[in-house]
Structure 1
Amino acid sequence: MSWTDERISELTRLWEQGLSASEIGKTLGVSKNAVVGKAHRLNLPARPSPIKRGGSTKPRTTKPMIKTPDRIGKMECRPATPVAAQTHSHEPRVARPALKKRSVVKSANSACLWPIGDPGENDFHFCGEPAVSGKPYCQEHCARAYITKTRDESKAA
């Protein structure tokens, strides 16, 4: 639909008569929103809103939805039930002799880079055992770092 000069003058005339946008739209065969948009682009004077504002001047008070007791009794606390620690490795750990401490700078590309200790402490170091080919860790630390799901676990997930 195009807005011809004749349709624009009709819109302006009906607007000045005070007809609503939907009434003007029915007369012109367009939607209410088309009338409002064109009136805005033509800078036609705004009209008072048909929605009544104001109403009651006294403030509204809300009532509480649920009455709460003034005092809530102390709940009895029970100690938590202990949970068995989960181990990720199914193979028993083998005790190894003490390793020579290595820093990451001194570690060769083929040395295990598993961190041992707290990085903020002076005794922090890396494992240093020979690393598995293509991995940053030795065999023991690869077993701890790369956990594979069993068939039963993957079905449950």
Structure 2
Amino acid sequence: MTASAWTDDRIGRLKTLWLEGQTAEQIARDLANGITRSAVLGKVHRIGLSAGRSGRPPKGSDARPKPVGLSPARSLATRPIDARPVVAAEHGLATVLSVRRCQCRWPFGEPGAADFSLCGQPVTRGAFCALHAAVAYRPAADTPRTLDRLALLD
């Protein structure tokens, strides 16, 4: 029988780090010696810690750049008429390799360039955040209802 990599000390350290808001990847790096991100997530689930923390990291632990506003001319051109002004990032928070399923995939820069990135904000519609969905998903101008209104049939 082989000894488990999960000693009482490691489990205690896992609980402490998890409840502090560390990610599974950070915890795996801290514990080292063969403990992977997946092993951390599995152990967290098995000992019931996954219900003891919200999905968000605690305040102050987010090292990502904060979004900045668009210029007034651009923000008017890229938002729906009845919506409030929206904030967008100058560059993305994710890369092609780091973007997750629930993160906006709006591209920034040229795909072959070293500084190419993706938005990375939480998805609200389709594959995009609220700001980029407003640009990407425009209503069709010539819907049957619009044509009826134009022909004064409505």
Q: What interval of TM-score do these two structures reach, taking the shorter chain for normalisation?
A: 0.3 to 0.5
Structure with greater proportional helix content? 2
The structure whose RCO (Cα within 8 Å, separation 6+) is larger is: 2
Between Structure 1 and Structure 2, whose CA radius of gyration is higher?
A: 1
